Amino acid sequence: MNKESTALQTLRLTRPDDWHLHLRDGAVLASVLPHTAHQFARAIVMPNLKPPITTTEQAAAYRTRILEALPQGMQFEPLMTLYLTDNTSPDEIRKAKESGLVHGVKLYPAGATTNSDAGVTDLKKCYRTLEMMQEVGMPLLMHGEVTDQAIDIFDREAVFIDQVLQPLRRDLPMLKVVFEHITTKHAAEYVAQSDGQIGATITAHHLLYNRNEIFKGGIRPHYYCLPVLKREEHRQALVKAATSGSARFFLGTDSAPHPKGMKEHACGCAGCYTALHAIELYAEAFDRAGALDKLEGFASIHGAAFYGLPRNTQSITLVRESWTIPAELPMGDATVVPLDAGASLNWRLA
């Protein structure tokens, strides 16, 4: 028998969750939310709105807006986060924990990425708040890049590990930490090997592509995100981590919608839109690695365990069936270009 005919044709998984997602707000939220809710049971919703979600009250109101935007008959649970600032108080953390709605607090080093201007200028200013997070078991989610413009953009994640992450975890060894959207072998190795409660999310695009994708035949802004795609050796290290079976690695799409005109621009926004076809993109990446048997742990089990949430009881089915990713989709009063628009995918959500 040839390989084709022995290959798996359908794949049934516990319904997955997305542990790193941008839903935005208003008309954009209404456009993108159904894509996520079609595939995922829950998602950790990023707080980098303008202005950011910095209080439990704002998070609760945002959660209500998300649920109101959910089409009739769809089920989805938004897991809210707060945006850490220099001024976030320990008391706010206690409130967030007691609400039961807030599942993490996000560190954006000031200026590191989209809507991070209100982010933390120096983590030392947040130590009392971080101590409270450690005490109540509130995870710290991190955009793990230093912002020093003198540091090469391709090195900012590795330098973050040395300059920020390691000192922080030495000082607060019981703090639960999620290293978001890791992009380097340094991060993958650090998360796999270090002590304590640490997890990492990995995007589909960082599993599928290296940095050459941004420059293939011309500059291709839809492959530009932060942290930026890295060399092939890093992509391979991420695939190895994601398919290793280690419970420290879990799915986080970092689907980050920007209007087409803001991506195809002289100073284009960072972010890839993958909510439309996220699980199919991950299936493709795991299939190429010969590791489809490891997809369920990564997509549906490890994240819930890390966050101390129950495993989903429903399931989804993926079928091996080629389909073409649309060129663009309506989004509010604009359009959004999904990652790999026009290309075909070999897996389809049934």
Q: Which residues are catalytic?
A: 254
Tokens 């953009």 sit at which residue?
153
Residue 181 labeled ligand binder: yes
Interaction partner, residue 133 (ligand NCD, Zn ion, none; CB < 5-8 Å by kind):
none
Q: Choose between 44 and 191: whose C-beta lies nearer to ligand NCD.
A: 44
Closest distance of CB 91 from ligand NCD, Å? 27
User: Smallest Cα–Cα separation from 278: which of 201, 219, 335, 331?
Assistant: 201
Closest distance of CB 149 from Zn ion, Å? 17
Contact in structure between 136 and 97 (CB atoms under 8 Å): yes
Chain centre to alpha carbon of residue 301: 16
Closest distance of CB 243 from Zn ion, Å? 22
Tokens of 350: 């049934």
Binding to ligand NCD by CB under 6 A, coded x per residue (else -) over 108-127, reads -----xx-------------
Closest distance of CB 133 from ligand NCD, Å? 20
Helices 232-242 and 278-288 sit at what angle, rounded to 10 degrees?
100
Residue 270 labeled ligand binder: yes
Interaction partner, residue 278 (Zn ion, ligand NCD, none; CB < 5-8 Å by kind):
none
Tokens of 190: 């650090």
Residue 22 labeled ligand binder: yes
CA distance 151 to 147: 8
Interaction partner, residue 114 (Zn ion, ligand NCD, none; CB < 5-8 Å by kind):
ligand NCD
Question: Which of 52, 78, 119, 271 touches ligand NCD (CB under 6 A)?
Answer: 271
CA distance 195 to 41: 30
Tokens of 168: 């922080």
Site for Zn ion in 250-279 (CB under 5 A): 254
Q: Choose between 49 and 316: whose C-beta lies nearer to ligand NCD.
A: 49
Stretch that binds Zn ion, among 105-113, 163-171, 182-190, 288-296 (CB under 5 A): 105-113
Site for ligand NCD in 210-249 (CB under 6 A): 225-226
Tokens of 343: 């290309």
Q: Where are the beta strands (DSSP E) in 147-209?
A: 177-179, 198-202
Interaction partner, residue 270 (Zn ion, ligand NCD, none; CB < 5-8 Å by kind):
ligand NCD
Residues in the chain: 350
CA-CA-CA-CA dihedral for 234, 236, 242, 245, to nearest 10: -130
Report how far apart the first and last C-alpha atoms of the chain are (Å, whole number).
27
280 binds ligand NCD (CB under 6 A): no
For Zn ion, how many residues bind (rule: CB under 5 A)? 3
Residue 312 labeled ligand binder: no
* CB-based contacts of 298, cutoff 8 Å, min separation 6: 242, 243, 249, 250, 251, 282, 286
Helices (H) and strands (E) in the chain, counts: 14, 13
Q: Choose between 17 and 254: whose C-beta lies nearer to Zn ion.
A: 254
Binding to Zn ion by CB under 5 A, coded x per residue (else -) over 125-154, reads ------------------x-----------
Question: Which of 15, 22, 186, 205 touches ligand NCD (CB under 6 A)?
Answer: 22
CA distance 212 to 256: 21
Residues that bind ligand NCD (CB under 6 A): 22, 48, 113-114, 143, 225-226, 254, 256, 270-271
Binding positions are 20, 22-24, 48, 106, 143, 181, 226, 254, 258, 270
